[in-house]
Amino acid sequence: MTQKDKQIELKDKIVKGLEKVYERLLEFKKNKNSELVVMQGDKIVKIKPE
């Protein structure tokens, strides 16, 4: 396995981990009935998860 293959594999693992964290965050926010704060362009917006 070359260095480039290792980097691609590591990147894929990181992306999958971030997706899992995002899903858990949305689930947590839904359960607590709280708003999700995100940036849209140059503004900070509060969104109610559905």
The pTM is what?
Answer: 0.75
Distance (Å, rounded) from C-alpha 9 to C-alpha 50?
33
Q: Tens digit of pLDDT for each residue in 1-49?
A: 899 999 999 999 999 999 999 999 999 999 999 999 999 999 999 998 8
Q: What are phi and psi of 2, to 5 degrees?
A: -80, 170
Distance (Å, rounded) from C-alpha 33 to C-alpha 40?
21
Distance (Å, rounded) from C-alpha 8 to C-alpha 14?
10
